[in-house]
Amino acid sequence: MRQLRWRAAALLALILAPFHSGSALARPLRIVAFGDSLSAGFMLPANASFPGQLEAALRAKGRDVTVVNAGVSGDTASDGLARLDWSVPKGADLVIVEFGANDMLRGLDPEITRRALNEMISRLKARGASVLLAGMRSTTNLGESYRGRFEAIYPALAKAHEVLLYPFFLDGIAEEAGFNLSDGIHPNRAGVAKIVEGILPAVEAVLDRLGQAGAPSGAAGNR
C-alpha cells in the first residue's frame, strides 16, 4: 500500500511539473532604472518619467515587464554605489545603469566616476542581473582632455564587463529646447519619449538574451 501511494504521488508530481514551471516563468521581468534625475523623471509625473514611459512602450510591444524607478536627483556615480544595495531590489533581471552627468557637471575626476561604475556593474552582475550601461558625454567647456577621459569610461567598462552599452542617454535631445524643461538640462515628457525610442532596441536585445517568458512570440533568438 505504501508503495502504491508513493507511485501515485510521483505520478501526480510529473503531471503537475509543467504547470509549476510554467507559472514560475510567467512572472513579469523586473527592470530597474538606476540613475540620477535624468532617469528619475525630474519634475515629471510618474507616467511621463523614463521608467513609466519605458514600461508602457515595452508592454505595448507585448513584453511582460515591470520597470522600477530607482533614480535619485543629484546623485553622482559614487552616490549611486553607496545606495545600490537598498535601491536596486533583489531579483532584478535587468538594471539600466545611468550615472555620470552630475560627476561631469561638478568636474569630478573621471577616475572617481570610473571606479564607482566599475564596482556598481561588478556587484550587479554578481547578483545575477543583466546590465545595460547608459553612456554620458561631457560639455565642451571642461576641455578636450577632460572630455576624452570622461567619455572613454563607458565603452571601456562595457567591454571589460561584457555588457551592452547605449552610448549616450540624452542622444537626440541634448541642447534641444523642445525636448527639455526650462532649465535646459532635464528632459520633458517629449524628451523622455525620445530617449525611450532610442534606447528601446537595446533594452529589447537584452530581454531577448534573457530568453524571457514575457517576450512576444518568436522574439527570443530572432535578433
Report the catalytic residues.
37, 183, 186
> b vs e for 62-85, b when ≥16 Cβ sit within 10 Å of the residue's Cβ?
ebbbbbbbbbbeebbbbbbbeebe
CB 164 within 8 A of CB 132: yes
Name beta bridge partners: 30.
66
User: Which of 217, 166, 218 has its CA nearest to residue 196?
Assistant: 166
**E strand segments, the chain:** 29-35, 65-71, 94-98, 130-134, 164-166
- List the grid coordinates of 93: 533581471
User: Which of 44, 52, 54 has its CA nearest to residue 196?
Assistant: 54
